[in-house]
Amino acid sequence: MNLSVKHLRAFVALAEQRNFTRAAQACHLSQSAFSTLIHTLEEQAGSRLFERTTRHVELSADGRRFEEVARRLLADFEAALADLRDHALRRKGRVSIAALPSLAAGDLPPLLAAFRARYPGIEIALFDLLADGCIDLVRRARADFALAPAPAQAADLRVEPLLRERFHLVCPAGHALAARRSVTPQALAGHPFIHLSRTSSVRQHLDAALHPERLEGVMEVEQLATVAGLVAAGLGITAVPTLALFQFRREGLVVRPLQIPGLSRDICLIRLKERGDTAAAAALIEDLRAHYGDGRAGAGTGPGPRLKPRQPRQPR
């Protein structure tokens, strides 16, 4: 069979109007074109769907059986088409993001809130994971894109640099390094250091930039909030990138730029090469590009003034 939606619409119009002229007008067709559609439908169905007289057009027994199916098919088609339009116009949809915890808890919440206000029909899913976990979700198509450093093996991925972060020393206000305007690698030697775990991109970037030198690590933890608490308690100093500084905005801590050659972290927009962007994902990507248009991380990049006390934002 080679039938189309036009045939179904013509059938339903004639079933309602019971008149070829009025039905053709309802379909915005000439009467001859309309009659051809009905004839083709009956021919391919192998059944007479309408009983015709000089005065009346009525559904046949087969026509009455087909009417319910035809109306349901048209309704399903129109609903599917409306759903596609809603997605294309960003009235509906879903976008799934995998992001580093420092981004997921810091920069992203206000961006996502603004996005949600503009597109209330789009559902947002956020996965806050370390870099390897973010890339894994993209590769398994569970996330539309990731916000993370580029992996070493990226042949199957589209990697778009979004911003570059500097690293900063965080120490107690009374620490010897707090008086410096900036801190060199040599200045870190001999000071107890609070590390993030070796699986974190922060730790990996720091170790790579300092190699072969090693810091005097006294503790290694998983969460930035824990690092902040340990540093505030005077157990050591630490180094974090710009987007993580919001975790350290507390009384008694100071921030100083780290002057270590090669120590920066590129946050990239990472997607599968073989997968196109949905309309919802494209809209959020537009917002991210606009937000990070200069390619630099936001607050906290100055010469290291003491951070004003502020209630820290908690991860979702």
Residue 279 included in any domain: yes
In a domain, 142, yes or no: yes
Q: Are residues 134 and 272 in the same domain?
A: yes
Kindly indicate the confidence band of residue 29, based on its pLDDT and cuts at 50, 70 and 90: very high
CATH number at residue 217: 3.40.190.10
The region of weakest confidence among 87-96, 170-179, 269-278, 287-296 is 87-96
Residue 194 has pLDDT above 90, yes or no: yes
What are the pLDDT digits (tens) for 136-168?
999 999 999 999 999 999 999 999 999 999 999
* pLDDT tens by residue, 111-141: 999 999 999 989 999 999 999 999 999 999 9
Q: Is 300 a domain residue?
A: no
78 and 102, same domain (yes or no)? no
* Residue 87 in this model has a pLDDT that exceeds 70: no
pLDDT value at 301 more than 80: no
**Per-residue pLDDT, 305:** 32
- pLDDT of 314: 40
Domain that holds residue 102: 93-162+266-291
Residues 146 and 169 in one domain: no
| pTM of model > 0.75 | no
When pLDDT is cut at 50, 70 and 90, the band that residue 291 belongs to is: very high
- Whether the bond between 212 and the residue before it is cis, its omega within 30 degrees of 0, is yes
